[in-house]
Amino acid sequence: MVNPATPPEPLPPRKLCVVQMCTYFALGGGIQRHINDLSNSLMVQGHSVIKAGTPGELGETDDDSLFVPLQLDKVSDHKATGQMGLISRLSWLMRSTLTLRRILKQHKADLIHAHETAPLLTARLASFGLHIPIVMTYHGSSPNRLDSVALSCQRQADQVICPSQTVMQSLLERGVDPAKSRVMLLGVKPNAPTDPQTVAALRQELLGPNGTHLVLSLSRLDHQKGLDAMIELLRRVRQDLPGLRVVVGGEGVLRGQVEAWSDEAGVSDIIRFPGVISDVSTYLAASDLYLLTSRWEALPISIVEAFRAGLPVIATDCGGVCELVDDSVGRLCAVDDLDALSDALQQLCTDQPEYNRLQKNALARGGEDRFSPTHVHAEFEQLYRKLVRGR
């Protein structure tokens, strides 16, 4: 008697080629860190990743992904006005489209994940006729751009993602299809280990001989981050909090302006702008509070990193910040509400029992599963596979 043939083992899921696009691969930005962490996770699972966008000054990638330089910053240059400005943007869009299309064909890309609208438009044009699904993650923008962002998502994306329920709702209210919309958090990898001696030395350096409270803010130096409000806040509280010292880690177009504002407000001796901070964990460990004065956000991963370092957070209520910060872990203040920000800063620098309560709760919140990279990145991989199967 002949035994029936043993059924073949199912083939493992095939590996994907995923293109990750953002306008500008500057070192240290929240979007770029999200892309890098997600890409690393995908590559660990055996997938290949191509990154495409404007390279940053200090290098666009430090992993094994392929990087394709595209001048998407010139495509999205909203300051380029008039006919010549429009012609220039269209010219850069065409160049970027042709370069990306060649890469998509050469590497048989399975899916494109665009972050921001200029990459989304470029991806849609480059993939015309290639049947490559396009995912768009909306990371937040100025309120006056919401209508145009929603229209781009409607017309150009197969799947729309937002890390914040609050911000996603703003897109749905503007006509984005709920059937192709999904809230997905940003996986935040654990803070890097720190050396206690290095932390203590940094804290002593930043506080100086008379400092008592160190406040950290990881913010690009641009209008979005409300640095003019932050500087005015320091002017208001410096007399009552003479030991306050603030460090703003980041670079941006307002570098010279924020330094001038600090001089004019008489606070340049208590605020530092060291540029992009590479050792974020050490700065977090050396600090007492985290401050964010943004005018718009989606879901800042820097707040989660601050929680994991045990820092209470004072932040403005914009975008999805309210999904992270409340009175159990810090203070949530209206945008540009200097009175509320002043009260919060003074209370958390003087009320030790309240500070201790917030610190304990912040540590607990930072450890919640919803921020786990393993969980979040697995969800992205599943979504990618679903979209590729359905194309």
Side chain identity at 389, as an amino acid letter? R
Q: At what angle do helices 117-126 and 146-156 cross, to 10 degrees?
A: 20
Q: What is the pLDDT of residue 59?
A: 46
Superfamily of structural domain 17-187+372-389? Glycogen Phosphorylase B; (3.40.50.2000)
* Whole-angstrom distance, CA of residue 159 vs CA of residue 120: 11
Q: What is the pTM of this model?
A: 0.87
Q: What is the pLDDT of residue 6?
A: 61
Q: What is the pLDDT of residue 142?
A: 86
Token pair of 31, please? 């979007």
Q: Angle CA(354)–CA(357)–CA(359) in degrees, nearest 5?
A: 110
User: Per-residue pLDDT for the chain (391 aa), expressed as one digit of tens each?
Assistant: 555 556 665 556 889 999 999 998 875 678 888 999 999 999 999 999 999 999 875 445 567 789 999 999 999 876 666 676 889 999 999 999 999 999 999 999 999 999 999 999 999 999 999 999 999 999 988 888 999 999 999 999 999 999 999 999 999 999 999 999 999 998 888 999 999 999 999 999 999 999 999 999 999 899 999 999 999 999 999 999 999 999 999 988 899 999 999 999 999 999 999 998 989 999 999 999 999 999 999 899 999 999 999 999 999 999 999 999 999 999 999 999 999 999 999 999 999 999 999 999 999 999 998 899 998 999 999 999 999 998 7
Is-same-fold flag (17-187+372-389; 196-368)? yes
Token pair of 241, please? 């909090």
DSSP state of 222: S
Q: Angle CA(358)–CA(359)–CA(364) in degrees, nearest 5?
A: 95
Where in the chain are the domains?
Answer: 17-187+372-389, 196-368
Assigned CATH for 196-368: 3.40.50.2000
Q: What is the pLDDT of residue 28?
A: 60
Token pair of 237, please? 């509280």
- CA-based Rg of the chain, rounded to a whole angstrom? 23
Q: What is the pLDDT of residue 117?
A: 95
Three-state SS for 291? strand
* Whole-angstrom distance, CA of residue 289 vs CA of residue 331: 11
Three-state SS for 103? helix
* Whole-angstrom distance, CA of residue 301 vs CA of residue 324: 10
* Whole-angstrom distance, CA of residue 49 vs CA of residue 381: 12
Q: Cβ of 19: how many Cβ atoms within 10 Å?
A: 28
Residues 206 and 272: beta-carbon distance below 8 Å: yes
Q: What is the pLDDT of residue 5?
A: 59
Element (H, E) at 275: strand 271-275
Q: What is the pLDDT of residue 86?
A: 86
First to last CA, the chain: 46
Q: At what angle do helices 117-126 and 82-106 cross, to 10 degrees?
A: 60
Residues in the chain: 391
